[in-house]
Structure 1
Amino acid sequence: MLSWLSAHPRSWPLAVPFRISRGLRTTAEVVEVHVRDGDHVGRGESTPYARYGETTASVLAQIETLTRAAPRGIDRAQLQRMLPPGAARNAVDAALWDLESQRRGASVATLLGQTAPPCLPSAQTIGLDTAERMASAARGHAHLDLLKIKVGADDPARLIRAVREAAPLARLMVDPNESWTLALLQAMQPVLAEARVELVEQPLPAGEDAQLAGFDSAALLCADESCHVATDLPRLRGLYQVVNIKLDKTGGLTGALSLLDAAQAQGFDIMVGCMGCSSLAIAPALHVARHARFIDLDGPLWLREDHPGGVSFVGGLLQPTSPQLWGGGLRRADTRAPTSPAPCPQPADVPVAHVR
């Protein structure tokens, strides 16, 4: 049980502006939660997302309901019943996992029956811009294995071709962020094939998925905004081949593990993504990402400054966070984090033994 909970907003400036089809961002606006039990302090972070009707104020208000309803504390099982899936539950769920890890003196990986998080090949995102600027950004990342291209409905073919020319060897994913119509998706098929695009993420608006029935795409189709929790999966079968698991959608690592199990059982491939965030939000996502075919966890790499001990990107591989930042089983009586990252094991397929 938790004995003390606090939440506060935090703004992380981006090193460069980031644009998607919905608009431009210059900061990552997050909510950080601290849960205290004696000398142990669990931490978590989430990103309120306007697309889902969330604001910083609304997320803080949801979290405040927990302290009023349960002044003596809750556990993760109770949290699932008290808050709906979303950013508020994600931040608290992460803090509770971190707290449990400290109480038991064991890492979250150990609690899940896994080895320490390995280095993982994550995508580097090319934000929506002019074709020339996107090509320039792609040239700077041409040595990487996987690039993700943000596009809209305005001449996406030109943008995709510009990136492909600038990065001829990289694997490509395309993310229209719900901005395409079925007619545009159909028209884009020759371009997707020509550019060797492996995956298109949420091309149509959520709620219009039924149009994809029987559609034969040159690239895998991935549900993002259309897939939040495990109960969404039955209506997505036959429409998408991949689902994007984001902890801000599932309401935390607990919900993400449930979605992972259900998606794998129903034959979906897995992508793991993130919102604009710091490494504190990425640390729990790494425990799902190790089981994913596509990984897009570059949120902290856009920040001007991150937590000490946060993730880094070396040779196209995402290096895991320090065990003292989150979930390492180390007692933390305050909120200070180390300055050195954890050593990075080699990737390995590890059977999942989820602790609920």
Structure 2
Amino acid sequence: MTRLMKTAVEHFPIAGSFTISRGSKTTASVVTCHVSDGGFAGIGECVPYARYGETIDSVLAEIETIRTQIEAGIDRQTLREAMKAGAARNAVDCALWDLEAKQTGNRAFTLARLSEPAALTTAYTISLGEPEAMAAQTAQYAHRALLKVKVGTTDDASRIRAVRAAAPKSAIILDANEGWTDDNLAYHFAVCAESGVSLIEQPLPAGRDGLLASVHRPVPVCADESVHKTEDLPKLAGLYDAVNIKLDKTGGLTEALRMRDAARVLNLQIMVGCMVGTSLGMAPAVLLAQGADFVDLDGPLLLARDREPGLRYEDSLVFPPLPALWG
């Protein structure tokens, strides 16, 4: 099968700014991969992430190294062996899913042997800031069922309490983005328990996970930066209660489905998350997130503009993608 591949870079302004413990940004830059067979074209999107040593240029270069194999008809399983986990493989993998759906006339969820997807309750992200600013932002979204709150400073107690006071009825995921330390971990855990936090995401830097074995965890703890592929899971079982599966980390839907199944065998809860990207990047993750314990697919809601057509969001719900978008 002869194919043609092309890549593109697109920039989408963020509504305001997006701030975590590692910094702020005002633009979401994404890479798309298009794979066509002359009659049909599939597309996938990824978000290069500096935390993992990725840039726009490095992702484009990585995709380019496998152009010959892609155009010669590589399948998703061979792709998984030919490219490492990460954003570049995600864009190619999702393009191949989309291409096969169009070639066969089957939806991607059918190809993945999944049930027809339903709408999901997704988190909405509150950026890191001073407690008063975070409380004010939270108050605007206190009607949402689930909030994901960015923290990760040496003293987050006032932020946690301010957000909880501003959204007394919302379930809260707290994301420290590796920002806590050995010295303040137990204190922050206690404040989270006092404030009724539902989940704490990646409190310690990746590689420091072992400390979680020796500290009381009154609130479930989820690995994010510490988990990228299925082979990472065994060493995290017992330290974490959940894992955050993101397509840009796993390198696509193919590996993400494999990781989800393996995590369940290890009795780890499933969170499906995202980088700040468009509806195209979220669409395959909606399939992955069916049946997940926590869903955080609000990337398009953080943008000043999204793709057309995009995913449908209604209150706290995100709906499955239409074929015109992906899959």
Name the TM-score, length of structure 1 as normaliser.
0.89
Who is 1:30 aligned against?
A: 30
Is 236-245 or 214-223 further displaced after alignment? 214-223
Deviation of the 1:67 alpha carbon: 1.5
- Distance in 1, matches of 2:29 and 2:188, equals 34
Residues 1:3 and 1:220: Cα distance change in structure 2 (over 3 Å): same
Q: What CA distance in whole angstroms lies between the structure 1 residues aligned with 2:119 and 2:172?
A: 20
Aligned amino acid, residue 216 of structure 1: H
Q: Which string of whole-angstrom CA distances, capped at 9 and with x for unpartnered residues, describes residues 266-322 of structure 1?
A: 110000000010000101001111121001110111111111121232121112222
In 2 relative to 1, CA 70–98 (structure 1 residues): closer, same or farther, beyond 3 Å?
Answer: closer
Unmatched runs of 5 consecutive residues or more in structure 1? 328-356
Structure 1 residue matching 2:84: 3-state secondary structure: coil
- Note the alpha carbon deviations across 1:79-119, whole angstroms, 9 max, x for none: 11211000000000000000000111000112223343211
Indicate the RMSD between aligned Cα atoms, in angstroms: 1.2
Distance 2:313 2:184 in 1: 34
Letter in 2 for 1:213: A
Residue 242 (structure 1) aligns with: 242
Secondary structure at the residue paired with 1:8?
A: strand
Q: CA deviation at 1:2?
A: 5.4
Match in the other structure for 1:350: none
Q: What's the CA shift string for 1:308-338, capped at 9, x where partnerless?
A: 12123212111222221100xxxxxxxxxxx
Partner of 2:125: 125
1:320 match: 320
Deviation of 1:15 after TM superposition, in Å, equals 1.3
- Paired amino acid for 1:132: E
Q: Name the residue aligned to 1:331.
A: none
Residues 272-311 of structure 1: pairs in structure 2 closer than 5 A: 272-311=272-311
Equivalent residue pairs, number:
327
Q: How does 1:37-48 map to 2 (within 5 A)?
A: 37-48=37-48
Distance 1:70 1:41, change over 3 A: closer
Per the alignment, in what secondary structure is the counterpart of residue 33 of structure 1?
A: strand
Distance, in Å, in 2 between the alignment partners of 1:132 and 1:122 is: 24
Displacement of 1:57: 0.3
- Tell me if structure 2 keeps the 8 A contact 1:214–1:239: no
- Structure 2 equivalent of residue 223 of structure 1: 223
Q: Decide whether the 8 Å contact of 1:2 with 1:35 is kept in 2.
A: no
**Structure 2 CA distance for aligned equivalents of residues 153 and 8 of structure 1:** 36
The 2-side partners of 1:70 and 1:248 are apart by 19
Q: 1:71/1:288 Cα in 2 relative to 1: closer, same or farther (>3 Å)?
A: closer
Q: What does residue 76 of structure 2 align with?
A: 76
Q: Give every structure 1 segment of 4 or more consecutive aligned residues whose post-TM-superposition deviation is greater than 3 Å.
A: 68-71
Q: Take 1:10 and 1:299, find their aligned partners in 2: how far apart are those partners?
A: 15
Report what 1:338 is aligned to.
none
Distance in 2 between the 1:135 and 1:94 partners?
37
Bigger drift between 302-311 and 194-203 goes to: 302-311
CA contact (8 A) 2:160 2:195 kept: yes
- The amino acid of 1:94's aligned partner reads C
| Counterpart-to-counterpart distance in 2, 1:319 and 1:72 | 35
> Could you tell me which residue of structure 2 aligns to residue 330 of structure 1?
none
In structure 1, what is the Cα distance between the partners aligned to 2:56 and 2:255?
21
1:267 — aligned with what?
A: 267
**Match for 1:209: what amino acid?**
D
Q: Which residue pairs with 2:106 in the alignment?
A: 106
Percent of matched pairs sharing the same residue: 50
Measured after TM superposition, the shift of residue 71 of structure 1 is: 4.5
Q: Which amino acid aligns with 2:12?
A: W
Whether contact under 8 Å (1:310, 1:320) holds in the other structure is no
Moved more, 302-311 or 18-27: 302-311
With normalisation by structure 2, the TM-score equals 0.97
Structure having greater relative contact order (Cα 8 Å, sep ≥ 6): 1
In the alignment, the residues of structure 1 paired with residue 52 and residue 115 of structure 2 have an alpha-carbon distance, to the nearest angstrom, of 34
Residue 70 of structure 1: how far off its partner (Å): 5.6
State the alpha-carbon separation in 2 of the partners of residues 192 and 129 from structure 1.
Answer: 18
Instruction: Find the counterpart in structure 2 of residue 205 from structure 1.
Output: 205
> What is the rounded CA distance, in whole Å, between the counterparts of 2:71 and 2:220 in structure 1?
47
Instruction: Say if 1:156 and 1:12 are closer, same or farther in 2 by CA, change over 3 A.
Output: same
- Superposed CA deviations along residues 40-72 of structure 1, whole A, max 9, x for unmatched, are 000000000010100000000011011245652
- Displacement of 1:137: 1.2
